[in-house]
A and B are shown apart, each in its own frame.
Chain A
Amino acid sequence: MSGPALLSIEDVAVELPTARGNLRAVDHVDLALGPGQTLGIVGESGCGKTMLSRAILQLLPKKAKLSGRVIFDGQDLVRLKAEALRKLRARSIAVVFQDPMTSLNPVLTIGTQLIETLQEHLALDVAAARRRGVELLAAVGIPAPEQRLNQYPHQLSGGMRQRVAIAIALSCEPKLLIADEPTTALDVTIQAQILDLLAREQRRRHMAMILITHDLGVVAGRTDEVAVMYAGRVVERAPTRALFKNMQMPYTAALLAAIPKIDAAPHTPLAAIPGRPPDPTRPLKGCSFAPRCRYVSDQCLRGKPALTSAEAEGHSYACFHPLTIAAGVSA
């Protein structure tokens, strides 16, 4: 990454008090992203990636405790006042949520939900906002955009709804777009279209993007850098190509192996990762992945590995026994 960072996440931790104890959802994460770049965050359900995205947006639940700094465009969002933060939203940072059926309000028209952001942040009047709305819907590939403005979310298909959500996110020309599992709730056939749409719009607007997913295959070829998260921490981080060529963390390798390959022989068993992620309310003393790791040793159980840099530029990992695998992956 060259030049000053647009977004710098420094030592961010999120704790949630629950009935079962204190939940460490995000455990001291450091990440950075430059303007126009794409960062992929990959991990299983429950690894903290969504909580991290909420932490960036300052949209955590009321009882959550946030520590650390989130520097965006020179300002620490954690310390920013509510009103200033509100003005920043949509205008500078936008988000696309996972499930467009629940992230769009079912009793308001598409038009209302698209235009209100324009009216709020760009101070457009209704007519101008409607024109812009139609342009945006057309840009994301929705046919008959004028009619759509008056329709309700349930009248559109899943893929179309997500396109609307993307249109809403792009409407105020944000500098950063956070896409939280944007295709997980969609049909497989639509997934590629949506991801291509995101990539295209990003290039066109020179927008930075954070792509959050549980699927390593999604980030291959679409991101500049990948961070792999497990149990609230970043366990490996590298420029995308380097990650796939030279992954160090056994967890990353296991994730990759778990992707079904189209050219594998028929009836090849899927290599699933045995075990389950640790209970976040009872953090382990040693490495969080130890119970499931093939290469586990006593050292792994005694203490947590810190994020160390590999010899390659920009590649870091948190493991006592890094692999040096040249994974021949067709991304």
Chain B
Amino acid sequence: MVGFVARRLLYLLPVLLAVSLLTFLIASLLPGDLAYVILGDQATPDKVAALRHDMGLDQPIWWRYLGWLGHVLVGDFGRSFRTGQTVLQAVAERLPVSFELMLLAELGALLIGIPLAIACAVRAGSAFDRIVTGSAFSMLSVPAFLAAILLIYFFAVELHWLPATGYVPFSEDPLGNLRCFVLPALTLALGEWPVLMRVLRSDMIATLQEDYIAMARAKGLKPSRILLVHALKPSSLTLVTVTGINIGRLMGGTVIVESIFALPGIGRLLLGSIYTRDLIILQGVVLCVAAGYVLINFVVDMLYAVLDPRIRHGHA
């Protein structure tokens, strides 16, 4: 087990390194010039040259990369020249919002997907099953921004039940905070539940054929117990893995939703830095998100091995 973890960690490091290199290269290969952007309309050739020298932009690329990497490793991701905030400060402010969105979205997807999967597995092949599975497939063709528009139209414009945009911090007003997250989380959840539902349904259908389920029925246990204790647990392995991977994937997917619903998360930070050409923030945020993505996938790999007691004890 320890060997397994160690090997995966060893593989992780070069990937993270390559990610940082790629991020830096993208940032450096811009046709425009950072110095020009910063100086704006005050740019003269002399000032630009001076600023470039100050910022070390006239050094060779590999030198600059190592310098940047060195700073990153001690936690200095740079500072936005617009707001003066360090990248880490900006990220730390926005991260909780994005996390809350991601977790609520995945929770919503599970709340929709799990009951439907169980209901379909029990009625496999029936009209109900076909309708739900067909809807799941169709939902996969509805991108987040379409779902957002639909939800905003129905709940905010027509029914006035929920706010279309806006954010209230949890510490100020917990209920209001949650109200602001309902539509955004639901938007993302509508895109996530089909995959979860199909994975669980397929595993449950296979599990329900197993002898131990027939045995459980022969023991005269309550049907709810058979479904939820005997059938659900062995079927959930793939579900948990996919959920974990999804949460990681959602890190990139929150951009659209945060922008539409005006939530101050990482996604909006990124978009904002693009609009204002704040390239330091852009570079730093991309690196943070990519690194986080890699780390989450790593954790999910570990969890998978931990969850199945057979794997834990060395049986496959």
Contacts and interface: CB of A to CB of B under 8 A. Distances in A.
Q: Indicate yes or no for A touching B, C-beta below 8 A.
A: yes
Interface of A: 57, 59, 85-91, 94-95, 97, 99, 102-108, 116-117, 120-121, 152, 154-155, 165, 168
Contact of B211 (A102, A152, A168): A102
Contacts of A97: 211, 214-215
User: What 3 A-B pairs have minimum CB-CB distances, sorted nearest first?
Assistant: A89-B220, A102-B211, A105-B212
10 contacts: A57-B218, A90-B220, A102-B211, A102-B212, A104-B215, A106-B309, A106-B310, A117-B221, A152-B310, A152-B313
Contacts of B229: 108, 116
A117 B220 contact: yes
Contact of A94 (B212, B216, B218): B218
Contact of B234 (A59, A89, A107): A107
Interface of B: 210-212, 214-222, 225, 229-230, 233-234, 308-310, 313, 315
Given A89-B217, A105-B212, A168-B219, 7 more contacts: A59-B218, A95-B218, A97-B211, A102-B210, A103-B215, A106-B234, A107-B234
B177 to A, nearest CB: 38
Contacts of B218: 57, 59, 89-90, 94-95
A87 B220 contact: yes
Q: Which of A104, A107, A152 has the most CB of B within 10 A?
A: A107
Contacts of A103: 211-212, 214-215
Contacts of A120: 219-222, 225
A267 B251 CA distance: 73
A16 to B, nearest CB: 15
Contacts of B309: 106-107, 152
Nearest to B218: A95
Contacts of B225: 116, 120
A89 B220 CA distance: 5
A155 B233 contact: no
A85 B215 CA distance: 15
Contacts of A155: 313
A59 B217 contact: yes
A209 B230 CA distance: 27
Q: Which of A59, A116, A165 has the most CB of B within 10 A?
A: A116
A104 B212 CA distance: 5
Contacts of A116: 219, 221, 225, 229
A220 to B, nearest CB: 28
Contact of A86 (B214, B215, B220): B220
A120 B216 CA distance: 12
A101 to B, nearest CB: 9
Contacts of A107: 233-234, 308-309
A94 B216 CA distance: 11
A154 B220 contact: no
B214 A105 contact: no
Contact of B313 (A57, A88, A154): A154
Contacts of B217: 59, 89
Contacts of B233: 107-108
A102 B215 CA distance: 9
